[in-house]
Amino acid sequence: MFLTPDEREMLNGAQGRSSQKAMQILVALGEIYGAERMIPVRSVQVAGVSYDNLGEAGLQFLAELADGGGRVRVPTTLNPAGMDIENWRTLGIPEDFAKAQLRVLEAFSRMGVTLTCTCTPYLVGNLPAAGEHLAWSESSAVCYANSVLGAYTNREGGPSALAAALTGRTPEYCLHLVEKRQPGLTVVVEATLAGSSDFGALGKVIGDHIALSKSIPYIRGIPSASLEELKSLCASLATYGGAALFHIEGLSPEAGQLTAPGTELVVTRADLETASHSLSSATSAEVDFVSLGCPHLSLDEIRRISQLLQGKQVKKEFWITTARHTRTLAERLGYTQVIEAAGAKFAADTCCVVAPIQGRFKAMATDSAKACYYASAKNKLKTLILPFDEVVKEALV
């Protein structure tokens, strides 16, 4: 693999222990995937932040990189942590966990990572342009960056994304190459889609279909979609199909230069209903936990929740998960006050999947196909998937 003199210096340790470790990770990856060279990246999104997932070994790895002089060389944002950094007590997070989580964040901070703690970096200032090369982890954000924004990133793991941040480089392979971004399957959507839950169901139908082939979908029949609908589709397709890229005719930046493949998957309203049905294992009566914000909520979604909760009182534990930045804007607009007066709780910086909630609840209502998967697989919860407004109403009964 060709390395520039600067990259060789990093690899031989002349630029410090942490740059060396990071370059070793990237060279190993590049050799496995047959990359011919490194390329510079414009930004990085690092996942693997919750102490619930990292444990003590992960924390040590981060602390050693920070102690070894590791400092990010490009703008670098961070995935959700295991708790709301300011409000963890209200959310019932144990003190020991909180202390460990704060040590994780301190290590990232020493390396110069911006503690955004969100899976929607594109909503809080890390907004790539089409054609830019990135090294992002967080599968839903990777899918959004490639498919909606037209940027180029592989689906990095936490360590390889951090290694890219500490060197400013990533090996050039797979989705950094135009020829690897060609679609392999045409999806014809025959249903009219509305809302995050419909788009999540579509992600599950397509994801299940491509889970083995890993074909890149070229989707027809979606004349328009909101940012919120697209983030839901991205999260679901990444979860169920392992997808890092899709193209929507008329919407995705690259779609106009591509030819729709001959192989087709037709998706009908009945397919979407079957997918939604398969994600619901709980009845309304069993639901004791309600969560919106997977991926993290936009300001407009928080506005909608405040409209629906105005003057009402929730009867179930209701978490609203979003970026701290978005919560601050919601507060300035008065949405936060309405929502908290109704008894719902903001869980900024975190989410219902990465927070340590296993054993606290029996069944969760959500609009997110991705949250259903992890609530069941990681937190052993039953799930009920509903349209966005219906989820809010579920908290009131």
User: Binding to ligand F3S by residue 325, rule CB under 6 A?
Assistant: no
d(CA 216, CA 362): 36
Residue of 145, 191, 206, 235 interacting with ligand F3S (CB under 6 A): 235
Strand order in the sheet with 44-46: 76-78, 44-46, 135-136
Minimum CB distance to ligand F3S, residue 18 (Å): 26
Q: Total residues at the site for ligand F3S (CB under 6 A)?
A: 16
Site for ligand F3S in 356-375 (CB under 6 A): 370-371, 374
Instruction: For residue 353, state whether it binds ligand F3S (rule: CB under 6 A).
Output: yes
Of the ranges 126-134, 306-314, 346-354, 375-383, which one interacts with ligand F3S (CB under 6 A)? 346-354
Q: Which is nearer to ligand F3S, 26 or 323 (CB)?
A: 323
Spatial CA neighbour of 290 closest among 389, 387, 363, 229: 363
Tokens read off for 134: 């990135």
Tokens of residue 66, six digits: 């920070």
Q: Residue 351 interacts with ligand F3S (CB under 6 A)?
A: yes
Written as six digits, the tokens of 35 are 């990359």
Provide the mask over 80-99, with x wherever binding to ligand F3S is found by CB under 6 A and - wherever it is not.
x-------------------
User: Out of 11, 113, 119, 248, which residue is the one contacting ligand F3S (CB under 6 A)?
Assistant: 119
Minimum distance from residue 173 beta carbon to ligand F3S (Å): 25
CB closer to ligand F3S, 312 vs 378: 378
Residues 278-307 within binding reach of ligand F3S (CB under 6 A): 293-296
Cα-based distances in Å from 360 to 93, 136, 364: 11, 32, 11
Q: Nearest distance from residue 16's CB to ligand F3S, in Å?
A: 31
Shorter beta-carbon distance to ligand F3S: residue 222 or 375: 375
Q: According to CB under 6 A, which one of 44, 201, 243, 354 is a site residue for ligand F3S?
A: 354
Residue closer to ligand F3S by CB (options 156, 271) is: 156
The yes or no reply on residue 144 touching ligand F3S (CB under 6 A) is no
Cβ distance to ligand F3S smaller for residue 185 or 294: 294
Residue placing its CB nearer to ligand F3S in the complex, 141 or 185: 141
Of residues 81 and 165, the one with the C-beta less far from ligand F3S = 81
Give the full edge-to-edge strand order of the sheet including 264-267: 247-248, 217-220, 185-189, 264-267
Chain positions contacting ligand F3S, by CB under 6 A = 79-80, 119, 140, 235, 293-296, 321, 351, 353-354, 370-371, 374
